[in-house]
Amino acid sequence: MSAGHTAVTTVGAAADEPVISCETPQDECGVRDVLDRLGDKWSVYVVVELASGVLRFKELQRRIHGGISQRMLTLTVRRLERDGLVKRTVYPTIPPQVEYELTEMGHSLTHLVKALADWSIAHRPAITAARASYDETQDVSAP
Amino acid sequence: MSAGHTAVTTVGAAADEPVISCETPQDECGVRDVLDRLGDKWSVYVVVELASGVLRFKELQRRIHGGISQRMLTLTVRRLERDGLVKRTVYPTIPPQVEYELTEMGHSLTHLVKALADWSIAHRPAITAARASYDETQDVSAP
DNA sequence: CAGGATCCCCGAAGATACTG
DNA sequence: CAGTATCTTCGGGGATCCTG
């Protein structure tokens, strides 16, 4: 990597100690799988809300701030159900009642989401500062 | 598979014991922040590749399978740089040489990505099975 | 109440061409 | 080599209407 150039030295983190050992590039270590699932706009919200208990469709929709449409909630929850992360229970009553809850696998994902949240909260100040610094460097003020 | 849950510290799958304590719904516990950063199509790949060391633009592009365009790589890497996750070093040579590497914060994110990868790899069979089961239930074979 | 069916919009992402 | 600029496409996602 460093071809004898005037390297600006490292940041302190050892680059020769790969945390991620990607043996199967074709599958991106499987990261893509999870990200495709959590990467969409709403899945994570649904998981977060469902993490605290069973919810019905409307209630779930109500709790998700930002206002998810019925369509997107349906699509999102269906995909999660298909992947075995959410369990959908239909009570053949009138009016119909459908309850959603995380499966065990879904709950295990919850820990990851929490890890992400923790990381985000911990580094938000640093990120904000980095952005400010970057934007300042770019100096957009000049017309 | 009912009691198979490994309760690390205080986390549990009980509905009355929220793993995710969302005190600030406005910020979605900050999860959205990370996801917006990792949720896009390429960021995670860049992080993964840079996790193993310093890379130049072209080499980085070459390693990312699926074929990222120069444009997207530029945009992705720029955002990561702005957020302080990636450090960009420009050597004023001819031809120009630019090296990218993760910052310490970027490396810390790497651990999260690895956790996601591990989770994905561990649960992939279950997910695949769940999908097969779901699709079978839906029975699309009937015309 | 839960959700299927439709229409439409906008932004993410690709392709291509040009430059320092 | 490492971008920037421009045009275009594609599909995620919103709004709305309708039904069991």
Residue-wise pLDDT for B61-105, tens only, equals 999 977 899 999 999 999 999 999 999 999 999 999 999 999 999
> What pairs with residue B88 in β-bridges?
B100
Contact B52 A18 (CB under 8 A): yes
Confidence of residue B35 (pLDDT cuts 50, 70, 90): confident
Residue B105: name the closest of B74, B83, B76 by CA: B83
Residue B143 has pLDDT above 80, yes or no: no
Of the candidates A81, A112, A130, which has its C-beta nearest B134's C-beta? A81
Does the nearest atom of strand C lie within 7 Å of A107's Cβ?
no
Q: Which residues contact B59 (CB under 8 A, 6 or more apart)?
A: none
Nucleotide D20: closest residue by CA–C1': A96
pLDDT value at residue A76: 96
Quick check: helix, strand or coil at residue B52? coil
Residues of B in contact with A54 (CB under 8 A): 15
B 73-132 residues with CB below 8 A of A? 81-84, 87, 89, 91, 97, 99, 101-117, 119-121, 123-124, 126-127, 129-131
Of the candidates A15, A22, A34, which has its C-beta nearest B101's C-beta? A15
pLDDT value at residue A63: 92
pTM, to two decimals: 0.80
Contact A127 B33 (CB under 8 A): yes
Quick check: helix, strand or coil at residue A138? helix
- For strand D, the positions having any atom within 7 A of a protein Cβ are 1-6, 12-17, 20
Residue A117: name the closest of B14, B6, B33 by CA: B33
Q: Which domains does chain A have, with CATH numbers?
A: 30-130 (1.10.10.10)
Provide the mean pLDDT of chain B. 80
Q: Residue ranges of chain A with pLDDT lower than 70?
A: 1-29, 139-143
> B129-135 contacts: CB < 8 A, separation 24 or more?
B129/A84, B130/A82, B130/A83, B130/A84, B130/A105, B131/A82, B131/A83, B131/A84, B133/A84, B134/A81, B134/A82, B134/A84, B135/A82
pLDDT value at residue A6: 36
Share of chain B above pLDDT 70, in %: 76
The tokens of A114 are what?
A: 């929490």
Does the nearest atom of strand D lie within 7 Å of B92's Cβ?
no
- For strand C, the positions having any atom within 7 A of a protein Cβ are 1-6, 12-17, 20
Phi, psi dihedral angles at A78 (to 5 degrees): -70, -40
Interatomic CA–C1' length for residue B23 and nucleotide D11, angstroms: 34
- In this structure, how many other beta carbons lie within 10 angstroms of the beta carbon of residue B118? 15
The tokens of B53 are what?
A: 């060391």
The per-residue pLDDT for range B107-128, each reduced to its tens digit, is: 999 999 899 889 999 999 999 9
